[in-house]
Amino acid sequence: LRIKALLLYWVRSRWLCRTPRDCRAAWAPGPWEYWETLPVEILVVVLGFTYFSVTPILVPFATIFFGLGYITYRYLAMYVFLPTAESTGRIWCYLYDYSMGGILLAEIALAAILAIKQAVPAAIMAPLILGTV
């Protein structure tokens, strides 16, 4: 999960550690790098919302992904990562926008599929899409 940190530790401990203090500093975990983990989570949310209506078999896999991710990141946040300054919730706006974009894309895909199969008239799906916007 943290391959980059492991490789950096190996390089630091192999060539840069001269004293025990340097070795302890090389082993320090550092802060949680949101910019590396959140894009993957948002990608799974958007793809999940989009393709759940097309292939419902993805629902258990996405559930397992988020369940294991919850357990893993909770442990990492509590015991591994060092606390840093908080963002005071500024990242929430971006996460909300991307998630709502995924829901809107999913509704458009569902409306297109239902219109192609002529199961439901497309006009019935219009209020749902407009309600999301």
Q: What is the largest CA-CA distance in the chain?
A: 72
Contact 45, 99 (CB under 8 A): yes
> 104 near 129, Cβ under 8 Å?
yes
Query: What are the residue ranges of helices labelled H in 28-77?
Result: 34-51, 58-75
Predicted confidence (pLDDT) per residue in 73-97, tens digit = 888 888 877 777 676 777 788 888 8
- How confident is the prediction for the chain on average, in pLDDT? 80
pLDDT in tens, the chain (133 residues): 567 777 877 777 777 777 778 777 767 777 777 777 788 888 888 888 888 878 888 889 888 988 998 998 888 888 877 777 676 777 788 888 888 888 888 888 888 888 888 877 777 777 877 787 7
d(CA 71, CA 1): 13
